[in-house]
């Protein structure tokens, strides 16, 4: 039986620390609870928000609807052979705790995704990525709950249509399903991924010359701690914008006009630009407007120094977007879900 709370403050449920209220709020831990909730009249006519760790959300106002906080737990090995292991993880498990569990078992594949806040259930929503790895690289399948019929059904990797910070969950299935578990395919003889230059440099600095997955994880954690704001100290939701993709022709023109442009060649011929560089060139890095600001070490992170409202954060983001558009003719897409 799910307990519904009314007028629930959400400050401790979002890493931007927005002081907003949900008109209805509940926590679900078992499949029965979710299914019972869906078929009851408690959700009738209500806007729904499925909540994990709240680390990719910006609340601009109180939420008039039902927040469903997913808190199921459990990690289970489904099958394994000498090389691979398939692990099913409940959506409510903490992502970094799961990474640590894999390191302990010696299962490779997600060490480059260390220290990303949030839950396992959210990891496929925007196909979390960092340091050359994305969740799609280890994703096997997921169990979804249809939010209308309450039916539990599987989805495979191909059907998820993963892209850069994108998946079917942000498109056709947006607002229609709850991710209930994710099954990952991990390696028992891990191939470590060091092509992101900064990892190799950090491993050398640490004196780890023959690195394994724990070393890679330690290096990633060090790099992240050195430049990303810690949500326990300063409200933020990681990168506020995605890195934009443009055609090779446009990138050549931009490179001629701005020789310092930071860009990466993509396999499809297009080019990805470092949004942090674009924002820094527009002189936003480190600025502060009231309690809203741009992180001094990473211009892609917009931060809440204390009592900024969601609207103040959003206004700053829109001003940044506008100036990058004016200076570079590049539109930055928001990565954060604005509610
Ligand atoms: P929430 O913020 O709770 O939700 C995000 C979205 O997913 C919402 O639309 C929500 O409705 C939906 N959702 C959540 N759970 C479910 C579910 N079970 N079923 C269906 N929908 C659901 N992201 C990266 O990709 N790479 C990074 O390197 C990275 N670094 C970060 C660093 C910091 C300091 C912070 C604060 C954020 C960072 N992020 C990064 C963003 C964030 O951590 C990820 O997007 C993460 O997956 C969000 O998880 P969450 O549980 O907090 O999701
Ligand atoms: N840069 C600047 N100024 C800045 C920030 C970055 O010039 O203030 C330039 C630098 O040249 C730097 C390059 O941009 O070398 C790339 O910066 P960084 O390695 O910090 O990565 P990012 O592209 O800014 C992306 C992800 C992060 C992920 C890191 C590491 C996006 C939107 N962001 O950031 O993910 O952790 O790479 O792989 O793709 C997130 O999604 O929330 C997130 C934090």
Helices 197-206 and 213-227, packing angle to 10 deg: 100
- Find out whether 286 and 302 touch, Cβ atoms under 8 Å: no
Q: Is 225 exposed, middle or buried (0-12, 13-18, 19+ CB in 10 A)?
A: exposed
Question: Which tens digit of pLDDT belongs to each residue from 26-53?
Answer: 999 999 999 999 999 889 889 999 999 9
Can you list the alpha helix ranges (DSSP code H) found in the chain? Answer: 31-39, 95-105, 197-206, 213-227, 248-257, 275-281, 310-328
- Is the CB of residue 24 less than 8 Å from the CB of residue 2? no
Task: Tell me, yes or no, if the pTM score tops 0.95.
Answer: yes
Select which of 111, 134, 165, 181 is catalytic. Answer: 165
Q: What is the mean pLDDT of the chain?
A: 97
What's the first-to-final CA gap in the chain, in angstroms? 28
68 lines ligand 1 (CB under 6 A): no
Q: Is residue 87 a contact partner of residue 78, using CB atoms and an 8 Å limit?
A: yes
Tell me the backbone φ, ψ of residue 239, rounded to 5 degrees: -65, 125
334 lines ligand 2 (CB under 6 A): no
What spacing in Å lies between the alpha carbon of 176 and ligand 2's midpoint? Answer: 31
- pLDDT bucket at 197, cuts 50 / 70 / 90: confident
Query: CB–CB of 42/1 below 8 Å?
Result: no
Q: Measuring from atom 7 of ligand 1, which residue has the nearest CA? A: 122
In 3D space, the residue among 323, 258, 311 whose CA is nearest the CA of residue 62 turns out to be 311
- Of all protein residues, the one whose alpha carbon is nearest to atom 4 of ligand 2 is 276
195 pLDDT higher than 90: no
What integer is the mean pLDDT of 317-326?
Answer: 98
Question: What is the second-level CATH architecture of the domain 75-187?
Answer: 2-Layer Sandwich (3.30)
Does residue 183 contact residue 140 with C-beta atoms inside 8 Å?
Answer: yes
For residues 300 and 293, the answer to whether their CB atoms sit within 8 Å is no
The ligand with the least distance to the CA atom of 54 is: 1
Enumerate the CATH 3.30.465.10 domain ranges in the chain, comma separated.
75-187
**Please, are residues 89 and 181 in contact by the beta-carbon 8 Å criterion?**
yes
Q: Check if 277 has its Cβ closer than 6 Å to any atom of ligand 2.
A: yes
165 is catalytic: yes
Query: Does 298 sit in the ligand 2 pocket, CB within 6 Å?
Result: yes
- The pLDDT > 70 percentage for the chain reads 100
Helix ranges (H only) for 171-212 are: 197-206
243: Cβ below 6 Å to ligand 2?
A: yes
Show Cβ contacts of residue 113 under 8 Å, excluding neighbours closer than 6 positions.
95, 99, 128, 129, 130, 131, 133, 135, 220
Is 335 annotated as catalytic?
yes
- Give the model's pLDDT for residue 1: 81
Q: For 5-19, 34-48, 107-121, which range has the lowest pLDDT when averaged over its residues?
A: 34-48
Confidence at residue 28, expressed as pLDDT on a 0 to 100 scale? 98
What is the pLDDT averaged over residues 311-317? 98
CB contact at 8 A, 128 and 62? no
The active-site residue, picked from 33, 111, 143, 335, is 335
pLDDT tens-digit readout, 59-94? 999 999 999 999 999 999 999 999 999 999 999 999
Is there an atom of ligand 1 within 6 Å of 299 CB? no
At 264, list the tokens. Answer: 């990466």
Predicted pLDDT of residue 265:
94
> Of residues 122, 141, 239, 251, which has the active-site annotation?
239
The answer to whether the beta carbons of residues 334 and 277 sit under 8 Å apart is: no
Nearest to 180 by CA among 228, 142, 148: 142
| Distance between Cα 252 and ligand 2 center (Å) | 21
Q: In sequence order, what are the residues at sequence separation of 6 or more whose Cβ sits closer than 8 angstroms to the Cβ of residue 240?
A: 300, 301, 302, 317, 334, 335, 336
The boundaries of every CATH 3.30.43.10 domain in the chain are 5-70
Spatial separation of the C-alpha atoms in residues 233 and 161, rounded to whole Å: 35
- Hey, whose CA ends up nearest to atom 49 of ligand 1? 118
Amino acid 196: pLDDT: 81
What mean pLDDT do residues 207-211 have?
A: 92
In 81-225, DSSP assigns E strands to 84-90, 129-130, 133-134, 139-146, 152-156, 177-187
What percentage of the chain reaches a pLDDT higher than 90? Answer: 96
Q: Start-end ranges of CATH 3.90.78.10 in the chain?
A: 235-338
Tell me whether residue 12 is one of the annotated catalytic residues: no
Overall fold of domain 235-338: 3.90.78
CATH number assigned to the domain covering 5-70: 3.30.43.10
């Amino acid at each position: 039986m799910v307990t519904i709370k009314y007028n629930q403050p959400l400050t401790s449920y979002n890493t931007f620390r927005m002081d907003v209220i949900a008109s209805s709020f509940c926590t679900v831990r078992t499949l029965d609870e979710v299914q019972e909730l869906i078929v009851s009249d408690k959700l009738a006519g209500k806007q729904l928000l499925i909540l994990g760790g709240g680390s990719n959300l910006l609340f601009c106002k109180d939420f008039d609807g039902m927040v469903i906080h997913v808190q199921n737990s459990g990690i289970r090995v489904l099958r394994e052979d000498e090389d691979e292991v398939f692990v099913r993880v409940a959506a409510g498990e903490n992502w970094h705790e799961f990474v640590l569990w894999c390191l302990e078992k010696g299962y490779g594949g997600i060490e480059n995704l260390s220290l990303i806040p949030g839950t396992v259930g959210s990891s496929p929503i925007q196909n979390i990525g960092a340091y050359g790895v994305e969740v799609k690289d280890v994703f096997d399948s997921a169990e979804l709950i249809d939010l209308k019929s309450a039916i539990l059904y599987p989805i495979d990797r191909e059907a998820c249509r993963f892209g850069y910070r994108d998946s079917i969950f942000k498109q056709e299935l947006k607002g229609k399903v709850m991710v209930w578990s994710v099954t990952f395919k991990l390696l028992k003889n891990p191939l470590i991924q060091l092509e992101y230059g900064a990892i190799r440099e950090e491993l050398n600095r640490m004196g780890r010359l023959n690195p394994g997955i724990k070393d890679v994880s330690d290096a990633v954690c060090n790099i992240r701690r050195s430049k990303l704001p810690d949500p326990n100290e300063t409200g933020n939701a990681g990168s506020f914008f995605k890195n934009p993709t443009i055609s090779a022709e446009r990138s050549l023109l931009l490179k001629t006009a701005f020789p310092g442009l930071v860009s990466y060649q993509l396999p499809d011929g297009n080019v990805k630009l470092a949004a942090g560089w674009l924002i820094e060139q527009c002189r936003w890095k480190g600025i502060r407007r009231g309690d809203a600001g741009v992180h001094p070490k990473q211009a892609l992170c917009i931060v809440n120094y204390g009592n900024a409202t969601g609207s103040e954060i959003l206004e700053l983001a829109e001003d940044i977007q506008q100036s990058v558009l004016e200076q570079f003719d590049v539109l930055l897409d928001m990565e954060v879900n604005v509610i």
